[in-house]
Amino acid sequence: MPGKLQNLWQNMSNSFWFVPSLAVVGALGLSWVLVEVDAHLSGLDYSSVPWLFGGTADAARSLLSTIAGSLITVISIAFSLTVIALQQASSQFSPRVMRRFTGDRVNQVVLGAYIGTFVYSLMVLREVRSPAEGASGFVPALSVSVAIALAIVCVGLLILFIHHISQMLQVDLVQRQIHEEMLERLDHLYPSMIGTPVEAQDESAADQFAESEADRQAAAGGVAALRPYAGPKWDVRSTATGFVRSIDDSALLDADLGKVDRVHIRVRVGSFVACDDVLATAAGTPVDEVEATKAIRAAVVIDATRSAEQDPLFDVRQLVDIALRALSPGINDPTTAEHALYYLGDFLGRLGQRAFPSAVRTAPGGGIHITLDRPGWDEFVAASFDQIRDSAHGNAHVVGVLLDVLRRLERVVPAERAPAVRLQTALACAERHDVR
C-alpha cells in the first residue's frame, strides 16, 4: 500500500468515528433488510415462535422508543468516561499515549454498538404502523426482536466498557501494552538475529551485521555512504510541516525516475520537518525533474503526529515520557519510573541481539540506490536512559534500578554494543555517588 494511503488508513482506523460510522451504515442496512423480510412475512402467524415479538403496534413503538432513549443516555455516559480517561492519560501518563485510547478497538466497538443500535431502533420505529394508520397495520416482529437482542448486547457491552476503561487507566497495564507492541514491531523492523558474537568468529567469517561495508556502517548506526557521485544533483524540499510518519522506500524503488542513480533521504522517520527543509538529495539526470521531485516527495509521508509503525523510537519515547512524568514533583511515583526502566531494558536486550537493517537499498538489477538515515544502537540506548537518569538524580532507589537494568543489559548484548551501555552505567554511578 502506498505510504500516503497507508497513513490515511492509520489515521482513519485510529479515530473515534471510524468504527461507529461503520456501525451506523451497518445498522441502516440491517434495518432495511429485516423490515423487508418482515413485509414479506407479514401474513404469517408468529404465535408459534415464542422468541419473536408478539405485541401490538403501540407496544412496538413504546419498546423501540425506550431502547433509543436509553441508548442516548448510555452513549453520553460512555463518551463522558472516554473524555475523562483521555484527560487522565494526558495529565498523568503522557500526551503521546492518547492515540492508544482513541484507537482502542474495544472503545470503538462499544461506542459503535451503542450508536448503531440507536440508529437501528429509529429506522425500525418509523416503519411501525397501527391499523388506524394503514389498511391492516404493520408490526415488524422480527425487526423489533432483533432490536431487543441488540439492547441486551449493549447492556453487556456497558459492563465490558467500564471494566476496560478502568484497565486502561492503570499505568502498569499501559506500560505493558506499549512494551508488547514494541516487541511486535521489533520482529517486523529487525527480523534478523546477529548470531555468534564477534570474538568467536575468525577474520574470514561473514560480518555478523551484513555483507557489505555499507551494511556494516548501517548496523553501527551510521548512514551508509556510496562512492562520491560527480554528476548533477538537486535537493527535494518539503512543502509541508510536521513529523515524518513513514518513508515508502519500496515505492521509490519502483518509481520511474528516469536516469536518477541515487536518492539520499536526509530526514529520519520521527523527525520534525519544516516547510522548505531538504527532504532528500537526488543524483542523476531525470526525464522530468518535476515529476521525479513529486515522486520522491510523495515517498516521505509527513503528518501532525508521530507513529510507531516505522518509528521504534516513538515507543521508547512513550515509556520515557511516562517515567519522566512519574518522577515529576507533581506526581512523585518512582515505582512507575522503575517499571518503565524494566521494560526499556528488556526491549533493548532483545534489540541488542538483532542485526540492524542496511541503510542502503538498491532496486532489482542494480538500478537506483536509496540511502536512508536510520537510528543506531547508541541512539536507542541514549534515548532510553539519558532523560530518566537526569530526572532520577537525587532518587537513590531509581538510580539503583537503572544500574541493575544496565548491568543485565551489558550481559546480554554483544561485546561491540556494550560500550554504549557502559557509558550509561558510568554516568549513573557518578550520579549515585553525588546522591550519597
Please state, in angstroms and rounded to a whole number, the distance separating the CA atoms of residues 206 and 331.
51
pLDDT value at position 228? Answer: 56
C-alpha cell at position 399: 538510580
Question: Grid coordinates 521531485 are at which residue?
Answer: 293
- What is the length of the chain? 436
Domain boundaries, the chain: 3-169
pLDDT value at position 103? Answer: 75
Closest CA relative to residue 325, chosen from 183, 171, 428: 171
pLDDT value at position 130? Answer: 79
Per-residue pLDDT of the chain (436 residues; tens, 9 = 90+): 466 677 677 777 777 788 889 999 999 999 999 998 888 877 666 655 667 787 788 888 999 999 999 999 888 888 888 888 777 777 777 777 777 777 778 888 999 999 999 999 999 998 888 777 656 778 888 889 999 999 999 999 988 988 888 887 888 888 998 999 899 888 888 887 775 433 333 333 233 323 333 344 444 443 444 555 556 788 889 999 999 988 888 888 877 777 778 888 999 998 999 999 999 988 887 767 788 888 888 889 898 888 888 888 998 999 999 999 999 888 888 999 999 999 999 999 999 999 898 888 887 766 678 888 889 999 999 999 999 999 988 888 899 999 999 999 999 999 999 999 999 999 988 765 554 5
pLDDT value at position 80? Answer: 85
Closest CA relative to residue 229, chosen from 257, 262, 258, 256: 262
Please state, in angstroms and rounded to a whole number, the distance separating the CA atoms of residues 284 and 233.
6
pLDDT value at position 220? Answer: 41
Q: Which residues pair with 259 in a beta bridge?
A: 285
pLDDT value at position 394? Answer: 80
